[in-house]
A and B are shown apart, each in its own frame.
Chain A
Amino acid sequence: MGQVGFDQGENTISHLHQNLGYEKSSPFGSLLEMAIVAQTTHVSKVYKLAAAEVVALDEVNIVVNEGDFLALMGPSGSGKSTLLHLIAGIDRPSSGTCSVLNFNLGTMSESELAKWRNQYVGFVFQSFNLVPVLSALENVELPLLLTGLSSSKRKAQAKTALELVGLADRMDHTPRQLSGGQQQRIAIARAIATDPQLILCDEPTGNLDSVSADAVLEIFHTLNTQLGKTIIMVTHDPHAARAAKEVRYLEKGKLLPAGEKPKDW
């Protein structure tokens, strides 16, 4: 895997925690009790299209523990992205319950979910989704605008996140001035800027060449192993999935038992 600049290693990682000076209570109460980060119970998602009904997820039960790095794989339309969206609270299940970081997402309003995402969840998209008119630093600072941190603390936090992904020297560059791989690393910095417990990634290497993809996976590996972040990653790429600690497969909306793959895979 490519070197992506973790030279500052331990210091940078500890700074990310230290710099986050706003009140962010742990949803678990005591860290010692923390075990299950995300849990779905009999979750189904049915889309109604004209006369037809499409079952995107069918009675999915999954448990993701703290410190897991889970890759969700499966053919197109298998429901892996739908499952990720339900765990992120940007979609709601047709039935079943979805509990993430001890929050029952089904009982939360839109605004509660938005605030919850900002505090506890980092999101990495396939197509980076950076704001083109903002610099790298400002893009990373964006989710911090909602935290109540002072301007200087926000900036410090964003810089720390950029250092973590090895792009501190590009903080003044706009997305157009950066390569795809660099843009995705900025997007990862944005996802971890609020120091979330859970990072959700939707095809994070899908738009990257192999070298850039390796660099991104290296960052995920570090976030998982050194910062203890729980990561759930949807991917088509077996190479990317190998970076995860565990791989689970979905087929036709159903979660296959651990260790089992869809036919033809």
Chain B
Amino acid sequence: MTLATYMFKNALRNKRRTALTAISLAISLTVVIFLKTILLQMTDPPEPKRPSARFVVRHRVSLTMGLPRSNEQKIREMEGIVDVTPMQWFQGIYKDEKPENWFARFAVDPDSFFRVYDNLKPASEEQFQAFRKTRTGCLVGRKLEERYGFKIGDTITIRGDIFDANPELKVVGFYDVTDDQPMNDWLVFQIKYLDEMLGETTRVSSFFALADSPQRLETLLPAIEERFRNSDAEVKAETEKAFQMSFLEMMGNVTGLINTLVTVVVFAVLLIAASTMALTIKERTREVATLKALGFSRGHILGLVVGEGIIVSTIGGLLGIGGSYVVLPRPGLLAACAAGAIVAIIIGVLMMAISFILEMKQDSKVRFIASKYGAIIAICIGVVITGLLVATMPTLDWLSMSGGYVMAMNVRPQTGLLGLGITVVVGVFSSFWPAFQASRMSVLDGLRKVD
């Protein structure tokens, strides 16, 4: 036996308590990692693997204030510009307003769109030509094809909400994404069709343009803004990443809100763990006094108790961090697990209540089952419900569930490290005060409590 073995045995002495503490930490860590991952996805979306020379030109004041279509030519004429394409965010409603039916819809110019978005490729030249030539034609990303089972010839009706138009679009083909950018669930249709429905050449929400190199953007973006200064539509030229950030700004101080939530969750779990450790050590007053009588110093006692706290928190931490890596990228699995956990908790509480209510009836079979097997029954039902939901639930993705704000929920290394940091902090700080008190307790006081 070593001191580490002794710590492990102490940590697992009351298995139920340790399991509950570890699970509460695991759930809290999952919440923290979930929130931090969302925040990172919104504030620091993944960089494309190769630097992008694509950028956005929009109205200086707001996206909702469009830019005149004539700006396209003015931008095109600037030095360093390779191509420009107008893009109008159509939004609209497909089927209903449920999040699972949300996807991005753009009115575009077919030729320049695929030149500027050189990472998007129509499935075939025939489909591209069909898109160019069909007034009401549309191309859809592969992910939409998978989600809805769209086939060529299908009609997609979008009810306009921003615009007073309800385009009836004919699927003429699909496109593929050739890099890691999450753009495979867009629907694009001809901007001419939108103009036709509205009876005018619409202003566009933005122009997307391609510079001759990513390095060019440093000088080109201010130059474009300068070019349109004092015009009737002053512009803001920015990188795609900065463009995405601007959506976050529209949501207010999300960063502050999420960080506050994270702090509250960490503090709550710290209190739970500290309370558990304090109770655990209080129950062992006699044992601590005995150890000191045997020659264990204050430092030894402090180390043993803090070590025990770290072991318990590490169990919970690994569960939470590992679980987050598995569950968070899969919203369907996450929802199923959450539902299963809630059902398990409700059944567990019910079992405890039954056990408590029937406490006086010692011979009650119901009480016996509830008290002895309540936790196992609750966990089993929770697992079954999770399994059933996973099997029957439609495929969900973060992009549609978040209304376009979160593209994916891949836990990043720094978030995992944050989880580890919280694990250590909870382990050390939850046990430090009980450990400090135990280390300072006089041997005599400890022994007297019993003897």
Once A85-B444, A126-B451, A131-B287 are accepted as A-B contacts, the answer to whether A117 and B1 lie under 8 Å apart by CB is no
> What are the residues of chain A within 8 A of B443 when measuring CB–CB?
90-91
Among the listed B9, B295, B451, which residue makes an inter-chain contact with A143, where contact means beta carbons less than 8 Å apart? B295
- Interface residue count on the B side (C-beta < 8 Å): 28
Q: Which residue of B lies closest to A193 (CB)?
A: B294
Q: Identify the stretch in A65-73, A107-115, A243-251 within 8 Å (CB) of chain B at 4 or more residues.
A: A107-115
Within 8 A of B (CB), among A120-174: 123, 125-127, 129, 131-134, 137-138, 141-143, 145-146, 151, 154
Which residues of chain A are within 8 angstroms of B292 by Cβ–Cβ distance? 90, 114
Nearest-CB distance from B388 to chain A (Å)?
A: 39
Given A91-B444, A134-B6: A129 in contact with B298 (beta carbons within 8 A): no
Q: Is the CB of A151 within 8 A of B293?
A: no
- Contact of A125 with B290 in the complex, beta carbons under 8 Å: yes
B275 at the A interface (CB under 8 A):
no
Query: Quick one: given A127-B451, A129-B286, A145-B3, are A114 and B9 in contact (CB under 8 Å)?
Result: no
Inter-chain contact A110/B294, CB cutoff 8 Å: no
Contact of B295 among A119, A129, A133 (CB under 8 A): A119
Q: How far is the CB of A40 from chain B (nearest CB, A)?
A: 17
Q: How large is the interface on A (under 10, 10 to 19, 20 to 34, 35 or more residues)?
A: 20 to 34
Which residues of chain B are near A85, meaning CB under 8 Å? 444
- Describe A's contact surface by its main secondary structure: helix
Q: Report yes or no: A125 in contact with B295, Cβ–Cβ below 8 A.
A: no
Question: Given known contacts A126-B451, A134-B9, is B297 in contact with A88 (CB within 8 Å)?
Answer: no
Bound Cα distance A252, B398 (Å): 79
List the A side residues contacting B2 at CB < 8 Å. Answer: 145, 151
A118 interface residue (CB < 8 Å to B): yes
B293 engages A138 (CB within 8 Å): no
Distance between Cα atoms of A112 and B13 in the complex (Å):
31
Question: A127-B451, A202-B451 given as contacts; is B297 within 8 A of A145 (CB)?
Answer: no
Any B CB within 8 A of the CB of A185: no
Mask: chain B, 270-294; 1 = CB below 8 Å from A; 0 = not: 0000000000000000110011111
Asked if A190 is an interface residue, CB under 8 A from chain B, the answer is yes
The answer to whether B294 and A117 have CB atoms under 8 Å apart is yes
> Are B287 and A145 closer than 8 Å at their CB atoms?
no
Instruction: Indicate whether B250 reaches chain A with its CB closer than 8 angstroms.
Output: no
Q: Is the CB of B13 within 8 A of A133?
A: yes
Question: Are A145 and B1 CB-contacts (below 8 A) given A91-B444, A110-B297, A111-B297?
Answer: yes
| Docked-complex contact A146 and B447, CB < 8 angstroms | no
Task: Check if B163 is an interface residue, CB within 8 A of chain A.
Answer: no
- Chain B residues with Cβ under 8 A from A91's Cβ? 442-444
Closest to B284 in A: A131
Tell whether B206 is near chain A: CB-to-CB under 8 Å: no
CA distance A7 to B356 in the complex (A): 54
Shortest C-beta distance, A49 to chain B (Å), equals: 14
Query: What residues on A are CB-neighbors of B286 within 8 Å?
Result: 127, 129
A78 to B296, CA, bound (A): 29
Residue from the set A85, A145, A190 with the largest chain B CB neighbour count within 10 Å: A145
Q: With the chains together, A90 CA to B290 CA distance in Å?
A: 11
Smallest CB gap from B14: residue in A: A133
- A119: which B residues are within 8 A, CB to CB? 295
Closest beta carbon of chain A to B329's beta carbon, Å? 40
Q: Is the CB of B451 within 8 A of A114?
A: no
B324 part of interface (Cβ distance < 8 Å): no
Could you say which residues of chain B place their CB within 8 Å of the CB of A118? 294-296
Contacts of B355 in A (CB 8 A): none
Closest residue to B292 on the A side, CB-wise? A114
Given contacts A127-B451, A129-B287, contact A190 B294 (CB under 8 A): yes
CB nearest neighbor in A for B299: A111
Q: Check if A123 sits within 8 Å of B293, measured CB to CB.
A: yes
| Residues of B close to A141: CB separation below 8 A | 1
Residue among B6, B290, B442 having the largest count of chain A Cβ atoms under 10 Å: B290
- Interface centre among A126, A133, A138, by most chain B C-beta atoms within 10 angstroms, is A133
Q: Are A114 and B296 in contact (CB under 8 A)?
A: yes
Given contacts A85-B444, A145-B6, whether A115 and B297 have CB atoms under 8 Å apart is yes
What is the bound-complex CA distance between A119 and B295, given in angstroms?
8
Chain A residues with CB under 8 Å of B360's CB are none
Least Cβ–Cβ distance between B144 and chain A, in angstroms: 58
Chain B proximity of A210: nearest CB distance (Å): 21
- By the criterion CB–CB under 8 Å, are A133 and B298 in contact? no
Contacts of B290 in A (CB 8 A): 125, 129, 131
Interface residue B300 (Cβ < 8 Å from any Cβ of A)? yes
Distance between Cα atoms of A116 and B3 in the complex (Å): 19
Q: Does B450 make an interface contact (CB < 8 A)?
A: yes
Cα-based distance from A115 to B298 in the complex (angstroms):
11
Residues of chain A within 8 A of B3, CB atoms compared: 145
User: Does B190 belong to the interface (CB within 8 Å)?
Assistant: no
Task: Determine how close the nearest CB of chain B comes to the CB of A124; give it in whole angstroms.
Answer: 10
Task: Give min CB distance, B62 to chain A, whole Å.
Answer: 66
Name the distance in Å between A29's Cβ and chain B's nearest Cβ: 22
- A133 x B294 contact (CB < 8 A): no
CA distance A261 to B447 in the complex (A): 28
| Complex CA distance for A88 and B5, rounded to whole angstroms | 28
B444 touches A146 (CB 8 A): no
Kindly identify, within residues 21 to 75 of chain A, every residue whose CB is under 8 Å from any CB belonging to chain B: none
- B127 CB–A CB distance under 8 Å: no
Cβ–Cβ < 8 Å partners of B287 in chain A: 129, 131
> How far does the Cβ of A75 sit from chain B's closest Cβ, in whole Å?
17
Chosen A-B contacts, 10 in total, with CB atoms closer than 8 Å, are A90-B293, A114-B296, A117-B295, A118-B294, A118-B295, A127-B450, A133-B12, A143-B294, A145-B1, A146-B296
- A131-B287, A146-B295 provided; 10 other pairs, C-beta below 8 A? A111-B297, A117-B295, A118-B296, A123-B294, A126-B451, A133-B10, A134-B9, A142-B6, A142-B291, A194-B295
